Amino acid sequence: MINAVIFDMDGVIIDSEPLWKEAQKAVFTSIGVKYDDELAENTVGIGSHDTIDFWFRQQPWEGISYKEIEAQIFARMLVLIETKGKINPGIPEFIQFFRNKGLKIGLASGSPLILIHKVLDHLKLKDNFDLFYSADEEEHGKPHPAVFLSAARKLGVEPLSCIVVEDSFNGLLAAKSARMKAIAYLPNGGFQNTRFDFADLKLASFNDFKESDFIYLQNLK
């Protein structure tokens, strides 16, 4: 029995991965880091602290703390969300499908609450969610399952009765480690990537989701 759906935010609700790259590239470049787009793929789906730590291990710097870098990235993201943030096609209808089923709807993101609220306010989606939760509250970010397990607990449901909607490899690992059913949202050609075949369902578009897919997920053991 499925009782709840927990959504990731970045890349699922909003097409924010390009915004994160823009913000991070500007900040890291300003402190002398040679930002590489290919290397940056390793940080998709992990929290900001782990992202900063990744770049520090690649190219150590002096004179500025993780917290200061994080604050600069978040400040840039607030502006970019407001000026460039776009909702992913089909997401309102996709969320409404589950709401019509009477399921609890949660959001569990590696982003801080200030950005979660900014995104949901900007996209006018806040009323669709029963819970907003940030991995900042956890000791470990994705791919550790803590953020999803805590979200399930706060929603009052068992992990086994949850579906997670994710777009990143690390996020999907976290969902499966939490023993939740996982939907991989893989637009822009990502659907063909066999790396994500361990997900329970893959979607190239939210508009592709059908009643039969929901029944399939319900019946999975």
Same-domain status, 129 and 180? yes
Average pLDDT over residues 23-40: 93
Average pLDDT over residues 21-45: 91
Domain hosting 29: range is 17-84
Same-domain status, 60 and 91? no
Average pLDDT over residues 18-33: 94
Q: Considering 8, 15, 167, 200, which one is annotated as catalytic?
A: 8
* DSSP line for the chain: ---EEEE--BTTTB--HHHHHHHHHHHHHHTT----HHHHGGGTTS-HHHHHHHHHHHS---S--HHHHHHHHHHHHHHHHHHH--BPTTHHHHHHHHHHTT-EEEEEESS-HHHHHHHHHHTT-GGG-SEEEEGGGSSS-TTSTHHHHHHHHHHT--GGGEEEEE-SHHHHHHHHHTT-EEEEE-TTTGGG-GGGTTSSEEES-GGG--HHHHHHHHH--
Average pLDDT over residues 1-16: 96
What confidence score (pLDDT) does residue 184 get?
97
- Whether residue 200 is predicted with pLDDT greater than 90 in this model: the reply is yes
pTM for the complete prediction? 0.91
The residue from 63, 84, 105 where one domain ends is 84
Average pLDDT over residues 66-85: 96
Same-domain status, 147 and 45? no
Q: Is 36 a catalytic residue?
A: no
Same-domain status, 109 and 214? yes
What confidence score (pLDDT) does residue 173 get?
96
Q: Considering 10, 15, 167, 200, which one is annotated as catalytic?
A: 10
The CATH number given to whatever domain includes residue 137 is: 3.40.50.1000
Same-domain status, 11 and 26? no
How many structural domains is the chain composed of?
2
